[in-house]
Structure 1
Amino acid sequence: MTEPLSPEREQEIRESIPTVYRAPWTVHPDWEDDTWRVMYATDHPLAGLVAVVPDYGSHLAEFIATARTAVPELLDEIDRLRALLTASRAAAFHEAADAIDVDDECDCGGCDSCQPRKLAAMLRERAAALRSTPAADADFFQPGHTYAERGGWRFRCDTITSHPADGELTALGWRFHAGRWEPIAYHRDDWETHRAAGHIDGTAQGGAP
């Protein structure tokens, strides 16, 4: 059985992505040297070489080229599924709480009405804790979280994607501004700007819609 991916190994993979070398990477034959050349996207005709692979290694060259976009895509999918799993677990706790809760004014703490209410409250607390758990890499917007600043600005992050050419992260969601919600995409520089302005993670503090 394959061992689970550890947080440390996941972080190593994330940090190993050579974002300075623009995607996509492509494979080109060099008939003079009988080799395959893996090239990164560049506007300079004499630059862009990533690797030179022997003529018998065409599949290896294709693997190297594909990995530049495939690895970020797989990491994005891990983030999406992790957020989906957390949201699903939180929703299950809420559904269970609603199913066993009792609409009763008794507060003795031990009767057939108070015990289910107490358990329902515990389940709702567990759901809230799941929704407020920060992601392992909290240096960018996180799916399922809502961020807020003084003045009324809010941003609900629904998903994270990456630019197909350079791998830059982009947060997609809804912004509340000037009294209305509107779809928006935020990038790394936006994250730095709003963090400098003192935004808070409203989800983690129980204030998300």
Structure 2
Amino acid sequence: MSARDEAVEMIRRICPAHLSADEYGRILAEKFDTHRAEVLAEEGLLLKADVVAWLVKKAREETPVWQLASKADRGAIRPDNLRMLPATFFEVDRNYTSGTWQFRCEAISASPTTGEPRALGWKRAPVYDVHLWHAVALDPDDWAHGGWTDVTEAGEGR
């Protein structure tokens, strides 16, 4: 149990009468999280989610690693600098639809022969009114001509 969780648990024991212990605990947890974000901001640090979003953005832009280090050192990772380019291929832990097809991308791997990427995962197709999942490897042509739409909900990936 983290120090944050311990503090929430200790304070929940003196919960005001008009709140349930669970509701009071939820409110306290939100306050602790807000406080953490404020402390990080005061120190000029970012939340992990902001850094990850920035790295995903830069990966889509195919930014070399040496440039990432330079940009990070100059303070280019900012919450207002996270606008994403559209994906150019399937991405791991994302869910897609195309017409009546669904696809869950589990991994990306390169062909040992050609180096062409393959999205490995599970595809669901309507067959005789039964929706069966089967393992597939989709290639860049499948992406380009499949009309795939990312339908992953926030936090849904894995």
TM-score by length of 1: 0.37
**Which structure's CA Rg is the greater one?**
1
TM-score by length of 2: 0.47
Larger relative contact order (C-alpha < 8 A, sep ≥ 6)? 1
